[in-house]
Chain A
């Protein structure tokens, strides 16, 4: 690949909100003093009258979003994943989830790739938390193209949606012209017979690179991109379990409660096969450059290759 275009999905989020505001008159944006970082500042600049800063008060922001939605608005409540899913969990559960209100949560700075800010801000638990809320849709896009499509899909869907975006610029891997986003549907990015790598977010690109390396070493790896973690594309996951017999999951999230758990829970009920999880291994992160942290915590193509080889061996 000659010129790899990289872009952080938080940028895609802010720009798409701005781009869709004209068409969607009820769209309003809330932030909690992080507009420059979550990139909702892009929307604010274009539509200052539809942007409301709630200050450093995420609990109230989620409640305000609920009230706006109860009156027909489509609020995008934006903050870091740590505060959206962590700090405000119970408000999201009781004021948004329980009444099933049409609130979109834009959670940026998810995962370890927050980098230098360190453990307090590296949220590796948000998918696990949000998965437990009945009726919550969870989208974790892998690149700019998918992130833009996800925001549009969330707008067109009536109900609460948790969208997870990253701080780090990541390669654009989807084709802008041909890409189609279908909520709740996994995408087979590459076919293979020996193993399925089920990845989400920035790990999709790592999985594709890993599959390339594995191919050269005689292992045919299928790569499935799960952008919608809930509702999970169970049909596809079960089919992959049946067809490839072993699954390796890869996510920038704790191995507890995230994509890996969701996949394991699913295949247990339809086609019990070996599921090996790659993720943050029940530890806190720490400060450092994002790229180095991803490597250190095993969130790399290299570690996927190693893990797949072991998994394939274990199966035999």
Chain B
């Protein structure tokens, strides 16, 4: 990847992380951990991969993204706001009464392609969108973003079977493999491992990537674009809480909002990272 593009994405992702902290702090609730682990990938997709236009959010030919791990909406909202789908000050109203930004993605929010958040459901909707694209001979892609805990839901594997059977090569599922879910490590709660073997066995083309390295992210999605006759699963190794030192790899930050001190520390860290990128 071109160095300047990469640096630009890194800066944008850093701002997305600030949006995650800003949103969950002001909401006094929400899910910062998984939002931070998926921030780089969502930034890459919306800025460097997907055919989308905030000025034409309903365009039938656009690429779609279903955040199947809908609890990490703060990251999606931060990307959409930064991209201009809605004013950035909406982030501070996240989860408030009367606010546009709901706790989990809602189809009525500009730029959100599907309501999601009850785990395991988004990937099925993404299958339906991909199938509709095939029926209409459209060239759009559909991205479904799942959590690694989420794939414990049986519906995910019903969808996996369906996508392979109907050769939905316009569907890319990203599994955010940060290794942690609410009750602990995924391998200790009720392990979904081996994840890559499972998707392969279900007939998917599987790619692994480092979810925090834009060169590797670019490599993975570029490869995904060349696959025909099969849906693609990208299993990304990631760090829950990535970018905020005290949140990294801490299961407790799955669904806890930062308090004032933590908010200030997190923002100071992210500002320092941004400054370093800008120098």
A-to-B contact residues, CB < 8 Å: 28, 50, 52, 54-55, 57, 59-73, 75, 90-91, 94-95, 98-99, 101
Contact = CB atoms under 8 A, between A and B. Distances in A.
A68 B121 contact: no
B118 A64 contact: no
A70 B129 contact: yes
B114 A94 contact: no
5 contacts: A59-B124, A59-B158, A67-B127, A70-B114, A75-B128
Nearest to A50: B135
Interface of B: 60, 64, 66, 106-108, 113-118, 120-133, 135-136, 154-155, 158-159, 161-162, 165-166
B128 A63 contact: yes
A36 B136 CA distance: 27
Given A28-B135, A59-B158, A99 B128 contact: no
A65 B124 CA distance: 8
Contacts of A61: 124
A53 to B, nearest CB: 9
A73 B114 CA distance: 15
A95 B131 contact: no
B129 A67 contact: yes
A60 B159 contact: yes
Nearest to A100: B107
A265 B240 CA distance: 49
Contact of A52 (B64, B154, B166): B166
Contacts of A59: 120-121, 124, 154-155, 158
Nearest to B126: A67
Contacts of B123: 63
B230 to A, nearest CB: 18
Given A52-B166, A59-B154, A95-B118, 8 more contacts: A60-B127, A60-B162, A63-B122, A64-B159, A65-B128, A67-B131, A68-B129, A71-B129
Contact of A70 (B113, B121, B161): B113
Contact of A68 (B118, B132, B154): B132
A201 to B, nearest CB: 30
A63 B124 contact: yes
A94 B66 CA distance: 14
A65 B161 CA distance: 16
A71 B60 contact: yes
Contacts of A94: 115, 117-118, 121
A99 B124 contact: no
Nearest to A94: B118
B121 A73 contact: no
A-B complex: 6 closest residue pairs judged by Cβ atoms: A67-B128, A63-B124, A71-B132, A60-B158, A57-B158, A67-B125
Most buried by B among A59, A64, A90, A91: A64
B115 A98 contact: yes
Contacts of B60: 71-72
Contact of B128 (A71, A90, A98): A71
Contacts of A55: 158, 161-162, 165
B128 A64 contact: yes
A136 B201 CA distance: 38
Contacts of B121: 59, 63, 91, 94-95
Contacts of A91: 118, 121, 124, 155
Most buried by B among A63, A67, A71, A94: A67
A90 B149 CA distance: 19
Contacts of A60: 124, 127, 155, 158-159, 161-162
Contacts of B108: 99
A90 B118 contact: yes
A158 to B, nearest CB: 14
A40 B184 CA distance: 45
A70 B132 CA distance: 9
Nearest to B125: A67
Most buried by B among A70, A72, A91, A94: A70
